[in-house]
Amino acid sequence: MKNKFRLLFTPGRKLDTDQLIFKKTVISFTVFFFMFGVALFGWMKLRQLPRDQMGTNTVIRSALNTNESIFSSILSDKHLSKSYPKSEAANPARRNGNVGMDLHKMVADFANWNMQVVKSNGDTLHITLADLKKLPKTEVVFNFKCIEGWSQITYWGGVKFADFIKAYGLEKETALKYIGLRTMDEKYYVGIDMASALHPQTILCYELNAQPLPIDQGYPLRLIIPVKYGVKHLKTIGTLVFSNDKPKDYWAERGYDYFTGL
Amino acid sequence: MKKIVPKHPLAIRWFHWINFPVLAIMIWSGLLIYWANDVYRIGFGDTTLVKFFPNSFYSSLKINNRLAEGMGYHFLFMWLFFLNGLAYVIYTAVSGEWKYLLPQKKSFREAWQVLLHDLRIRKGKPAQGKYNGAQRIAYTAIIVMGIGSLLSGLAIYKPVQLGWLCEMMGGYKSARVIHFVLTIGYVLFFLVHIVQVIMAGWDNFRAMVTGFSLEKKSDSSNTNQES
């Protein structure tokens, strides 16, 4: 056998058909198994890569960030989430996450609730629900999409985020790259790119199905942002900040994409 | 005497063998995602005949609680799946390989004969050529399915920015069903493909690795043409 190999792979040697078949087969299968070995090795390396501080494989994280820069380029104020008739909206709407929603503690705090908005000069605005209700109301009926995979047509009302920015003279803050939102108890928090925050369907929401928000849906105020999965629709807003660095994000810290744009 | 005849071009062999592990990773990571909202079933009313998937299936494959990981891998390997598929389509179009792969008018009749033959119902061997009628249909269908996966996947991935595509797929929920059904289709294709490859034998399998096939010649006067 050894001899056969040596003879076949001697340059210049004239081979008969059987020898040629043997030679071609050996070469091809060697390359074939070698490449499968390379692929398997690459896969094992990928699985063992160091994790970033958010616990995510570094290659996966940079792929997610690359996807973000590719697909955020098609994000446009003209691309609206499809609107539906109010009659198609689910009632009651499904409630999923409850991190940062310690209801008993919250009920005690509602009397004093206001949204703290931290401006770039360090000033903090305290905005009440009555203040927000003075601004024009925007209604959104859209197919709410959960990152888990379910979706549901829902009907919300509140202040368009872009209107809120204008009313409170926060245009300078919108030059920054992100907004960050935190729940009243600070246990849940999200970061959102400015373009998505200013999208015309993004609202600071205080109504569901034309009624005040139920406590478990984020009373008194939550975010509704149809260009994102439900994880970004933070309930019971406590604080709003503006930042050029990515504000911390609860689910991104647990391995999910930061952008999660739809 | 045997004769070495070229069968599969090098490029097509590469595309085929790259696609195999990449598609496997896409299906695996897709399962990690699907687990988070596993609502599909076959049944009528409240009666479920097949549930996608039973808990034993998830636990034996360690699918549970890995949504974030699944999305990460799915959105990295989608690029390989797409680029490899695109390269294959461009190559077959430019090289002329498509002539052996696209179904012809007679392919549908031939495919029926192939089916009957493979099920041991019909005795005569159907016309083979490089690919028989059934193969032409299957290998073209799998490309159409790949395009379907790509488009329905994009519709699920960016349902607002690519709203037109999402509507084309019949809406968000429908796009998800299409994406899932196509994946089941790949698994069924794979099973039939494996059985057919085993039945076809060594020469056929070797050709997908080495590129050549052996032709048995009865006419000895042609042996000098061998090269």
Predicted confidence (pLDDT) per residue in A208-250, tens digit: 999 999 888 988 999 999 999 999 999 999 999 999 999 999 9
Question: Looking at residue B198, which CATH number applies to its domain?
Answer: 1.20.950.20
Which alpha helices (DSSP H) does chain A contain, by range?
A: 2-8, 17-48, 58-71, 103-109, 129-133, 161-167, 194-197
Same domain, A235 and A192: yes
- A130 shares its domain with A191: yes
Query: Does residue A66 form part of some domain?
Result: no
Based on the domain organization, do A107 and A221 belong to the same domain?
yes
Q: Are residues A24 and A99 in the same domain?
A: no
**Closest by Cα among B109, B102, B105, B165 to B135:** B102
Sign of CA dihedral A106, A109, A113, A117: negative
Average pLDDT along chain B: 89
Best residue of B160, B208, B216 to probe chain A, by most A CBs closer than 10 Å: B160
State whether A154 and A230 are in the same domain.
yes
| Mean pLDDT to the nearest integer, A171-185 | 93
Q: What is the pLDDT of residue A259?
A: 92
A194/A55: higher pLDDT: A194
| Chain B partners within 8 Å of A145 (Cβ) | 159, 172
Chain B contacts of A80, Cβ < 8 Å? 160, 163
Residue A55 lies in a domain: no
Reading the block at residue B38, the tokens are: 């596993």
DSSP, res A44: H
Residues in chain B with CB shorter than 8 Å from the CB of A76 are 161
Count CB-CB contacts under 10 A for residue B145. 16
Question: Is the same domain home to A44 and A104?
Answer: no
The range of the structural domain enclosing residue B201 comes to 2-43+51-211
Look at residue A110 in the predicted model and tell me its pLDDT: 80
For A227, name the nearest residue in chain B, comparing CA atoms only. Answer: B160
Domain presence at residue B221: no
pLDDT of B110 reads 83
Residue B216 lies in a domain: no
pLDDT value at residue A111: 78
Residue A70 within any structural domain of the chain: no
Query: What pLDDT sits at residue B226?
Result: 36
Alpha-helical runs (H) found in A134-250: 161-167, 194-197
pLDDT score at B218? 60
User: What range does the domain containing A157 cover?
Assistant: 82-254
Cα(B160)–Cα(B46) distance, rounded to whole angstroms?
A: 33
A121 lies in the same domain as A225: yes
Do residue B161 and residue A71 have CB atoms under 8 angstroms apart?
yes
Residue B193 clears pLDDT 70, i.e. is over it: yes
* Minimum distance, in Å, between the CA of residue B124 and any CA atom of chain A: 31
Asked whether the predicted pLDDT for residue B86 surpasses 50, the reply is yes
| Total domains in the fold of chain A | 2
Q: What is the CATH number of the domain that holds A90?
A: 3.90.420.10
Asked if A255's CB is within 8 angstroms of B68's CB, the reply is: yes
Q: Is B217 inside any structural domain?
A: no
A161 and A206 part of one domain: yes
Structure confidence at residue B224 as a pLDDT band (50, 70, 90) = very low
Q: Check whether A67 has a pLDDT greater than 90.
A: yes
Question: Is A16 a member of any domain?
Answer: yes
Facing B67 at nearest CB: one of A28, A148, A150: A148
Cα of B146 to nearest chain A Cα, Å: 21
Distance CA B149, CA B146 (A): 5
pLDDT number for residue B216: 78
B-chain residues near A23 (CB < 8 A) = none
H/E element holding B178? helix B172-200
CA atoms of B56 and A260, how far apart (whole Å)? 31
Kindly tell me the sign of the dihedral angle through the C-alpha atoms of B83, B89, B91, B94: negative
Q: Is the pLDDT of residue B219 over 60?
A: no
Q: For an interface test with B, give the residue of A14, A16, A18, A21 to mutate (most B CBs within 10 A).
A: A21
Residues of A whose CB is below 8 A from B68: 56, 251, 254-256
Range picked from A218-222, B5-9, B29-33 for highest mean pLDDT: B29-33
Indicate whether A1 pLDDT > 70: no
- The tally of domains found in chain B comes to 1
**CA of B141 to nearest chain A CA: how many angstroms apart?**
27
Model ipTM? 0.89
In a domain, A246, yes or no: yes
**pLDDT of B194 above 70:** yes
Q: Span A142-165, mean pLDDT?
A: 96
Report the percentage of chain A scoring pLDDT > 90.
Answer: 65
Instruction: Assess whether A171 and A110 both reside in one domain.
Output: yes
**Contact indicator for B70, B29 with CB cutoff of 8 Å:** yes
For chain B, the straight-line distance linking the first and the last C-alpha, in angstroms and rounded, comes to: 13
Nearest residue in chain B measured CA to CA from A254:
B68
At what angle are helices B202-210 and B10-34 packed, to 10 degrees?
A: 100
Q: How many CA atoms lie within 13 A of B21 on its CB side?
A: 12
State the average pLDDT over residues B73-83: 96
- Which run of H or E residues covers position B92? helix B67-95
| B13 is a domain residue | yes
Q: DSSP strand E in A109-236: where?
A: 115-118, 124-127, 138-145, 151-160, 178-183, 189-193, 203-208, 211-212, 222-224
The reply to whether B92 falls in a domain is yes
* Domain presence at residue B10: yes
Tens-digit pLDDT profile for residues B109-157? 888 888 888 888 888 777 778 888 788 888 999 999 999 999 999 999 9
Distances (CA, A) of B28 to A241, B34, B107, B149: 39, 10, 34, 15
Distance of CA A171 to the CA centre of its chain: 24
Chain A residues near residue B226 by CB distance under 8 angstroms: 17
Nearest by CB to residue A149, choosing from B37, B158, B163, is B37
Q: Is residue A61 part of a domain?
A: no
The one-character DSSP state at A206 is E
State the average pLDDT over residues B181-200.
94
Assigned domain for B222 exists: no
Residue B132 or B186, more confident = B186
In a domain, B103, yes or no: yes
Q: Of the candidates A210, A236, A205, A232, which has an alpha carbon nearest to the alpha carbon of residue A113?
A: A236
Inter-chain touch B160–A81, beta carbons under 8 Å: yes
Residues 184-243 of A with CB under 8 A from B: 226-227
Q: Is the pLDDT of residue B83 over 80?
A: yes
pLDDT tens-place string over residues A75-113: 888 899 999 999 998 988 898 877 877 766 666 678 788
Residue A105 pLDDT: 67
Instruction: Tell me if A91 is assigned to some domain.
Output: yes
CB pairs under 8 A between A and B: 104
Please enumerate in sequence order all residues whose Cβ is within 8 A of that of A191, keeping only pairs 6 or more positions apart, or say none. Answer: A178, A179, A180, A243, A246, A247, A248, A249, A252, A258
Q: Is A118 exposed, middle or buried (0-12, 13-18, 19+ CB in 10 A)?
A: middle
- The residue-averaged pLDDT of B31-42 equals 93
Sheet of A124-127, strands arranged across: A124-127, A115-118, A237-243, A178-183, A189-193
List the single residue in B2, B68, B157 with the smallest CB-CB distance to A256.
Answer: B68
Listed by number, the residues of chain A in 53-82 with a beta carbon closer than 8 Å to a beta carbon of chain B are 56-57, 59-61, 63-64, 67, 71, 74-76, 79-82
Sign of CA dihedral A244, A250, A254, A259: negative
Residues in chain A within 8 Å Cβ distance of B1: 17
Q: Work out the mean pLDDT of chain A and round it to a whole number.
A: 90
Task: Band the pLDDT of A158: cuts 50, 70, 90.
Answer: very high
